[in-house]
Structures are given as C-alpha cells and as structure tokens.
C-alpha cells in the first residue's frame, strides 16, 4: 500500500485580506503539515491534515511582490486565529481525490465540504506516485469563519489558493 510521505509532500494555502484596512494586512502562505493519507485504489486517494499543525510559512505586506518569513510576533496570533476563529471545533481537514486523466475530482472537508475539479499532473515511479496541482477553494464552502478584527475593517478573501504536491510511497 502506498501512503502519503509528508517529508516529500507540500500543501500550501495562500490567503489574502480584504476590506477597508487590507493594505495594512499581510498575504499569508499557510502550510498544512504532518498529513496522513493513502492511495485507496488506482483512481482514488485520501489524506487528512490536523488544523493544529497548520503553520504560517511566509507572508508579505498585502499587494507587494516580496514573500519572506512571517513576523515572529504575529505568527502565533495568526495561527491561533486560524484554529480558534476561522476553523473553530475543526480538528482536521480531509481530502478525497478521484483521478480522471489530467484532472482530479476533489472533496475537501473542514466544517463543511467543498467539491471541485482541478487539473493535476501525476508521475508514477517505482513504489511512488506524485500528484501536483493547484486548487482554488472557497473558505465559506469549507465552513470557515471570518477572523474577528476590531470594527471588521479587515477580512479574509473567500478564495483560498492551495498549491499541492502529494507524494505517496510504499
């Protein structure tokens, strides 16, 4: 059986602030770490990621081009908001994928479920399968809630772009 190899896999979501004070906020790249998963059969795979293990990987001042390490003073607060405000009472996100040629039908579940079809690249090796692609998810479709910011002057855009490389080995 082929299982998800977290050391060779990457799942990174990009979030963007909106609202009156968005220019004072940060665009974020949040990495889902320590996932588990497996190839179910020739066409299907599944994986799960603990919300507590999601980590701010990079940030940039909203609207600028340069990504870098997130400000250390903000990282813990951002990660806490992710757990406690955006996905309260959600322990894990699950992903189920069915391959169909150069596409995958995805079902991503947090509090609620988002479904969509995304282009993917699949590479097969000796006891190895690597699937790469980009999915544009809806935060509200996943049941995500807006983090609380004073006076509501800043929110997260509903669109979350996830770039992924899922490597299964065995």
User: Taking the domains of the chain in order of start, what are their residue ranges?
Assistant: 3-169
Annotation: CATH topology of 3-169: Lipocalin (2.40.128)
Question: Rounded to an integer, what distance in angstroms lies between the CA atom of residue 104 and that of residue 36?
Answer: 19
Which pTM was predicted? 0.88
Q: Tell whether the model's pLDDT for residue 152 goes beyond 80.
A: no
Taking only the tens place, the pLDDT of each residue in 54-92 is: 999 999 988 888 999 988 888 998 899 889 989 999 999
The reported pLDDT for the residue numbered 129 is 95
Given this model, what pLDDT does residue 13 score? Answer: 94
The Cα 58–Cα 93 span in angstroms is 21
For the CA atoms of 17, 134, 33, 39, the dihedral, rounded to the nearest 10 degrees, stands at 150
pLDDT reported for residue 63: 80
């Amino acid at each position: 059986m082929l299982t998800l190899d977290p050391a060779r896999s990457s799942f990174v979501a990009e979030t963007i602030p909106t609202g009156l004070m968005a220019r004072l906020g940060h665009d974020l790249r949040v990495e889902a770490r320590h996932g588990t998963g497996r190839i179910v059969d020739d066409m299907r795979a599944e994986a799960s990621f603990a919300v507590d293990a999601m980590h701010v990987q990079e940030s940039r001042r909203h609207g600028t081009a340069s990504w870098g390490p997130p400000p250390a003073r903000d990282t813990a607060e951002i990660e806490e908001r992710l757990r406690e405000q955006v996905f309260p009472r959600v322990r894990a996100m699950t992903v189920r994928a069915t391959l169909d040629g150069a596409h995958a039908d995805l079902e991503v579940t947090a509090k609620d479920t988002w479904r969509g079809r995304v282009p993917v690249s699949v590479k097969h090796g000796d006891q190895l399968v690597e699937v790469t692609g980009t999915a544009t998810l809806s935060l509200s479709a996943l049941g995500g809630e807006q983090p609380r910011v004073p006076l509501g002057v800043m929110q997260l855009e509903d669109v979350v772009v996830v770039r992924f490389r899922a490597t299964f080995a065995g």
